[in-house]
Amino acid sequence: MVIELITQQIPLVLNALFLASVLFLLGTGLSIIYGMLNFLNLAHAAFLVLGAYVASTVVTQIVGVFGDTLGTSGLFIILVLGLLIIVPFIIAMVGLTMEQTIFKPIYGLEDDYQLLATFGVILMMEDGMKFIWGGQPVTASAPSELLGSISLLGGSTYPLWPIFGTVLTMVIGIVLYYFFEETRLGKITLAMAEDDEIVGVTGINTRLVHLQVYVIGITLAALGGALFIPNASMTSGLALQFVILAFAVLVIGGLGSLKGAIAASLLIGFTRSFGSYYIPQLELAIVFILMAAVMLIKPTGLFGDIKA
Amino acid sequence: MSQDTKTELRGVIRQRVTTLPGLATAAFVMLALSFPYLPSTGQFEVFLVAQIFAFAIAAVAFNVLLGYTGLLSFGHAAFFGGAAYAVGFVLRYTAISELFILLPIGIVTAAALAVVIGYISVRYTEVYYSLLMLALSFLIYVLMVKLYTITGGTDGLPISAPTVGGVDYVALWGYSGFLQGILYYVIAISFLISIGLMWIFMNSPFGLTLKTIRDNPERARAIGIPVIKYRWYATIVSGVFTGVGGVMYAVLNSHITPDTVLHWSRSGEFAFMAVLGGVGSFVGPIAGAGAFIMIRSQAQQLTEYWHFVMGAALFLIIVLEPAGIAGIAKRSYRKATESIRGDD
């Protein structure tokens, strides 16, 4: 009886960890761009959806070209390369184009107006994606199917893809931590968050650093989408929901804190995973109650120290 | 009131009415009231203009916060939709169908929501205010979607045509007669009264205090203004009138769903209208609401990707003309007067 209860929880925990991974990739990107570049991009989450759409196309193309000729393991490697290299590359290019044309003119605006202008950008991106990929949900289950599944305690099976995604996100998290703490570029970025004019005076090309950080931010969101899509389906309408979840991560975790983003993603991931199993009516609602509660009790977020 | 103040008041009114804005207002009111009976007006135009009035109430109310208090709310859909849903619930669960009972119920609901949501949100400013409003209003959206046994879920609630003053005009005159003869006037007059009341509010010491807070919160606090309290009051005033707009929308469209009245993109649309019209101007958002509805109805006829058109319009307005239509109007008015003077 007790054992049964515990084994029942294992898939929920795995789901929660996977959801937390996607949210972490989404929220960290937003947090980096807002915290370090002081650019509040409401449209950030649209890059996750865009990443998922591009991933679905990339996967379909790869499967179409190679089919079964490579054997499953070869095909799987190509798919992963596609998701981890081709998708981020495409998103980075799209993102840079958008940065030059759309985002650059609004950097100087106040936060309020940045929010509104990027709300306009969301509407444009949403319809742009609907134009390219249509209104129907898309999916790309090939990588998940090729990876197969494992049997859990208690005889149920669970797909390996979410576990793979979680591990991969952990690696990305460690790399990010190393990047900000140890590398020169990371340190310059942290300094720019404090005062970019002074950094510019020392002869560092702040514009270049700005672009690099921006690309890292949106690429993380796109990776989140690429990891998400093999195990779920995506419609352009989901962008708005992810917008709020991304900000929930930011607010709950605290601005510009990697630790905070991890804690917040886990909190939201577990809340949603267990919530959707035990009280499906209210799972999303709980996330927002959580967000409001954290803002009231600790306005800086769980790990942040920047006052709202 | 003594004779003296009465004549003084009359003088003030005469003075005000004969200025250009006064004359424009008078002309606007005349046009609004005679609109359904102008020769070229059909049922569709009446509906469209009534729709503009309903949104204009909400847009001006929204601007009480954005333009006068300096707070960007991304949660006004909660007040708009809350009032609309209150009407929907009363119609569904009680036998009441009298507009003059439904309207106060909607307003009280919006006020109650604004009291609670505002109380929590005003502790923060700027982006955090926006996000907290967003989260709390989304909470209401989610509840309405998920508690579908009570709320109708994503299908929403039908709003049957209410009786007005106890008379069921739809049974008497048919729907188009009701729309042109009664409903339009109810909405137009609600619009005029709401705008008038908000005008008085914003030009009273209360409104001036809000402006002081917007321009310099620290100084306002230093001279003894309870800043947080005033922000709260402003949120409530704004929420109440947004609720009036919500009730009008519900009655006019005869059907509400969470996506049409409660979704946060609705809040974004109010912001859109305010910015399009000009947040620096009291009447700007009215023009903004009008322009928004017109652009949207044109875009919807042209393409299924009208969201794209709206998004691009919002973006371009913010980048190119942050003062909105009011800014353009002011500039061309100044240019016109300058060129007239130049001719002398």
CATH number of B164's domain: 1.10.3470
Contact residues, chain A, for B127 at CB < 8 Å: 40, 111-112, 115, 308
Task: Please report which confidence band the pLDDT of residue B236 belongs to, taking 50, 70 and 90 as the band edges.
Answer: very high
- E strands present in chain B: 157-158, 255-256
The alpha-carbon gap from A133 to the nearest alpha carbon of chain B, in Å, equals: 13
Q: Which structure tokens are listed for A266? A: 């886990």
Position B137 in a domain: yes
Strand B255-256, strand A157-159: pairing: unpaired
What is the Cβ-side half-sphere exposure of residue B168, based on CA atoms within 13 angstroms? 5
Taking alpha carbons only, the member of B175, B184, B163 closest to residue B97 is B163
- Range with the poorest average pLDDT among A22-36, A157-171, A291-305, B210-224: A291-305
Which among B66, B128, B263 is the nearest to A295, CB-wise?
A: B128
Is the pLDDT assigned to residue B123 strictly greater than 90? no
Q: Check if B318 contacts A (Cβ < 8 Å).
A: yes
Position B9 in a domain: no
Digit-coded pLDDT (tens) for B81-94: 999 999 888 888 88
Contact residues, chain A, for B143 at CB < 8 Å: 282, 285
Position A131 in a domain: yes
Which among A106, A116, A285 is the nearest to B142, CB-wise?
A: A285
Digit-coded pLDDT (tens) for B20-42: 777 777 777 777 777 777 777 77
Q: Is B265 within 8 Å of A131 when comparing Cβ atoms?
A: no
Taking alpha carbons only, the member of A259, A233, A255, A252 closest to residue A305 is A255
The domain tally of chain A equals 1
Contact residues, chain B, for A308 at CB < 8 Å: 124-128
> What is the C-alpha separation between A72 and B295, in angstroms, rounded?
53
Print the domain residue range for A274.
15-150+157-297
Q: Is A247 within 8 Å of B318 when comparing Cβ atoms?
A: no
* Rounded mean pLDDT, B185-212: 88
User: What number is the ipTM of this complex?
Assistant: 0.81
Position A252 in a domain: yes
Position B295 in a domain: yes
Position B115 in a domain: yes
The domain tally of chain B equals 1
Contact residues, chain B, for A121 at CB < 8 Å: 311, 315
Position A302 in a domain: no
The CATH number for A195's domain is: 1.10.3470
Position A306 in a domain: no
Print the domain residue range for B71.
17-343
Position B7 in a domain: no
Q: Is A123 within 8 Å of B310 when comparing Cβ atoms?
A: yes
- Range with the poorest average pLDDT among A93-102, A184-193, B59-68: A184-193
Is the pLDDT assigned to residue B58 strictly greater than 50? yes
Residue A193's contacts (CB-CB under 8 Å, 6 or more residues apart) are A35, A36, A38, A256
Contact residues, chain A, for B131 at CB < 8 Å: 247, 251
Position B12 in a domain: no
Is the pLDDT assigned to residue B195 strictly greater than 50? yes
User: What is the DSSP secondary structure assignment for residue A138, as one 8-state letter?
Assistant: B
